[in-house]
Amino acid sequence: MANLRKTHPLLKIANNALVDLPAPANISVWWNFGSLLGLCLGAQILTGLFLAMHYTSDIATAFSSVAHICRDVNYGWLIRNMHANGASFFFICIYLHIGRGLYYGSYL
């Protein structure tokens, strides 16, 4: 299998970008927060789109639409909680990402 991923033209592109990607030996766990930010942003966009399909912004029916999402929409409660907790996790990751950049002097 290793020989195939290095010789096949399409698999070679994926191999060079994902498997045999040169990375520094001194990299630590603190460098994962940029990728986590991208993952959080993608999850926020997807859950926000699903919530926006059922939300009504009218002042008289906004609360009822949130109750409808939580009670009547399949897994609406899960999507709403993922969206709410995802925002908190996004800010935790962004603070850690900025802190890592300041600590390691990545801003220079």
pLDDT in tens, 40-64: 999 999 999 999 999 999 999 999 9
Count of domains observed in the chain = 1
What domain range is 98 assigned to? 31-104
pLDDT score recorded for residue 17? 85
Encoded tokens for 59: 């002042």
pLDDT score recorded for residue 6? 85
66 alpha carbon, distance to own chain's centre: 24
Whether this model's pTM surpasses 0.85: no
90 occurs within a structural domain: yes
84 occurs within a structural domain: yes
60 occurs within a structural domain: yes
Residue 47 CA to residue 38 CA, distance in Å, equals 14
1 occurs within a structural domain: no
Q: pLDDT under 70 in the chain at which residues? A: 1-2
24 occurs within a structural domain: no
End-to-end CA distance of the chain: 42
77 occurs within a structural domain: yes
Residue 21 CA to residue 15 CA, distance in Å, equals 8
